[in-house]
Structure 1
Amino acid sequence: MEMMLATLLVGAGRFINKEQLISELWAGVPPRRAAAAVHVYVSQLRKFLVSAGDIEGRAIVTRPAGYLLNVKPGDLDLHDFREAIRKGHAHQQAAEYEGALEEFERALSLVRGQVLDGLAEGPVLGSFATWVEEERLHCLEESVEARAALGRHREVVGLLYGLIADHPLRESFYRQLMLVLYRSERQVEALQVYRTAQRVLRSELGLEPCRSLRRLHQAILTSDRELDLSMAS
């Protein structure tokens, strides 16, 4: 029943057909009476939602096309997560870095632990979990940009070292750390970060750092004055 509820929540506001639910619940290897089992799970879920406050039993809508979960705006953290990201980007583009940081931090606070841990086996939930994690990492990158723009370099350095330890293959974190260290007059350390990235990527993937990271490395070696003006790309 948990997987059924999770699938309907991810698709809240639109119909999920029975074939999608069967694929999600049994990972492509359904039992003989899968359609009947779906009906049973939906019935159990309705009873659970009634006990949780859906007194009129209208949370789940049934149609020939499938099932739809009715939710109101603001009922799901997902809606707030998307809205915080949207506002954060708008503030960032307007160079309103305090506002941007506040919104990105609000978005990050809504992601508590691994999304759908143990449930994301099917295509719908698996894709959703991957999307949330990518958005979370992008939020972290944007929050680092906002902090750096506010001159909070010492705070950013510590944060980025931790992020690199958790995500050693994400080159954007190396790039951000190299630039912040360089702008803090720690050129030697910035170059050491590049060598670390190079070693890790060679060891784990058999690859060299991406083009933007190599360009930043070269710019730091030559003390390119443009590094003091804008983020390397």
Structure 2
Amino acid sequence: MRYELLGCLRVIDGNDVKMLTAPKVEKLLAVLLVRSGRPTSISQLIDEIWLSEPPRRAVPALHVYISQLRKFLARAGAAETPVVTRSPGYLFEPADEDDSDFREFERLAAKGSELAKAGFPAGAVDAYRRALALWRGPVLGDAGGGPILRGFGTWLNELRLQCIATMVTCGMELGQHLELVPLLRQTTLENPLNEIYYQQLMLVLYRCGRRAEALEVYRELHRTLRMELGIEPGRAVAELHQRIMLAESGEVSPDMDCELLWTATAGIGVSISQSAANPDPARPGRY
């Protein structure tokens, strides 16, 4: 069976796609999945399902939800229930052949990082594209949740942004500038305060010969930062803006290009592989 969390939660068995209709049971499965292989206490599960307002009989209600979840997984195709009672609560034990989209995403992100660091940008771009293609929407859709699910969603979103930044760097090295414009425009819309994606979009547009659009991207960033935070853009993106302003042609010089290409994402590829192998202790995963 395959469990997918990069979007609304769903369980796939062959060609059959199953989705939970009970929100609290959905949250229960989500928490157990992201902590796969590690027991989750009763109190943690109650916090995730009811946040700060559990009912008086939360524990009996939780046991009912566990029973409903086991029945759902049996109908979905699980030969044996992966939801096991284990002190101080419950444990999700997937079968050997089971997989999840977020584990696959982790593996592809780490592969892309390794290929980028080894000097194989084409292979890195391919791995990153396959990783990003797994996302169907926000983590767990609109399911919400407590500290475990919120932390998990934040961690995965950060890893996704790292993938985009490093993939763009590798794509620019391969000359794939035009293909990167839609991705970077969408990423700046979704992350309006993150300067690195504006910087990359400016450079990509400039290398496509779209100098005026590159300068407009900087003006948009400047307006956003002044309005939202009351600050000016950072030195790196301001320097790129100045150099584009002073350029007399639509072609970036090789020295300028190489320097700005790699300073834009310095250290990001390393952080991806480290994140997959040595995640933050606060991350609610199986590690």
Q: Normalising by the residue count of structure 1, what TM-score does the alignment of the two structures yield?
A: 0.89
Shift of 1:157: 3.0
Tell me the equivalent position of 2:93. Answer: 70
Are the structure 2 counterparts of residues 193 and 17 from structure 1 closer, same or farther at C-alpha, using a change threshold of 3 Å?
same
Shift of 1:225: 6.8
Shift of 1:42: 1.0
- 1:126 is the counterpart of 2:155: no
Q: Distance in 2 between matches of 1:222 and 1:140?
A: 29
Q: For the aligned residues, what is the CA RMSD?
A: 2.2
Q: For 1:68, what is the secondary structure of its paired residue? A: strand
Q: Normalising by the residue count of structure 2, what TM-score does the alignment of the two structures yield?
A: 0.73
Tell me the equivalent position of 2:160. Answer: 136
C-alpha deviations, 1:92-118, integer Å up to 9, x for none? 111211110111011111111121122
Q: Distance in 2 between matches of 1:116 and 1:161?
A: 24
Q: Which amino acid aligns with 1:214?
A: A
Shift of 1:154: 2.0
Are the structure 2 counterparts of residues 213 and 74 from structure 1 closer, same or farther at C-alpha, using a change threshold of 3 Å?
farther
Q: For 1:12, what is the secondary structure of its paired residue? A: coil
- 1:228 is the counterpart of 2:257: yes
Q: Distance in 2 between matches of 1:166 and 1:133?
A: 11
Are the structure 2 counterparts of residues 56 and 162 from structure 1 closer, same or farther at C-alpha, using a change threshold of 3 Å?
closer
Q: Distance in 1 between matches of 2:112 and 2:166?
A: 8
Q: Distance in 2 between matches of 1:64 and 1:156?
A: 49
Q: For 2:79, what is the secondary structure of its paired residue? A: coil
Shift of 1:148: 0.8
Runs (5+) with no aligned partner, structure 2? 1-24, 248-252, 265-287
State whether residues 27 and 145 of structure 2, in contact with CA within 8 Å, keep that contact through their aligned partners in structure 1: no
Q: Distance in 1 between matches of 2:98 and 2:73?
A: 18
Shift of 1:211: 3.1
Q: For 1:229, what is the secondary structure of its paired residue? A: helix
- 1:164 is the counterpart of 2:188: yes
State whether residues 14 and 68 of structure 1, in contact with CA within 8 Å, keep that contact through their aligned partners in structure 2: yes
Q: Distance in 2 between matches of 1:49 and 1:229?
A: 52
Tell me the equivalent position of 1:81. Answer: 105
Are the structure 2 counterparts of residues 64 and 154 from structure 1 closer, same or farther at C-alpha, using a change threshold of 3 Å?
closer
Q: Distance in 2 between matches of 1:74 and 1:53?
A: 11
Q: Which amino acid aligns with 1:228?
A: D
State whether residues 60 and 70 of structure 1, in contact with CA within 8 Å, keep that contact through their aligned partners in structure 2: yes
Tell me the equivalent position of 1:44. Answer: 68
Tell me the equivalent position of 2:124. Answer: 100
Shift of 1:182: 3.7
Are the structure 2 counterparts of residues 132 and 35 from structure 1 closer, same or farther at C-alpha, using a change threshold of 3 Å?
same
C-alpha deviations, 1:12-38, integer Å up to 9, x for none? 111111110010010121111111211
**How many residue pairs align between the two structures?**
232
Tell me the equivalent position of 1:14. Answer: 38
Shift of 1:6: 1.0
Runs (5+) with no aligned partner, structure 1? none
C-alpha deviations, 1:155-213, integer Å up to 9, x for none? 22343234323433221111112223344455454333222210121123322112322
Q: For 1:35, what is the secondary structure of its paired residue? A: helix
C-alpha deviations, 1:43-90, integer Å up to 9, x for none? 121122222222333x11212222111123651111111000000001
C-alpha deviations, 1:132-155, integer Å up to 9, x for none? 222222222222112111111222
Q: Distance in 2 between matches of 1:162 and 1:56?
A: 42
Q: Distance in 2 between matches of 1:73 and 1:169?
A: 41
State whether residues 34 and 152 of structure 2, in contact with CA within 8 Å, keep that contact through their aligned partners in structure 1: yes
State whether residues 97 and 150 of structure 1, in contact with CA within 8 Å, keep that contact through their aligned partners in structure 2: yes
Q: Which amino acid aligns with 2:203?
A: L
Tell me the equivalent position of 1:114. Answer: 138
Identity %: 45
Q: Which has the higher strand share?
A: 2
Are the structure 2 counterparts of residues 70 and 111 from structure 1 closer, same or farther at C-alpha, using a change threshold of 3 Å?
same
State whether residues 73 and 79 of structure 1, in contact with CA within 8 Å, keep that contact through their aligned partners in structure 2: no
Q: For 2:99, what is the secondary structure of its paired residue? A: coil
Q: For 2:163, what is the secondary structure of its paired residue? A: helix
State whether residues 120 and 129 of structure 1, in contact with CA within 8 Å, keep that contact through their aligned partners in structure 2: no
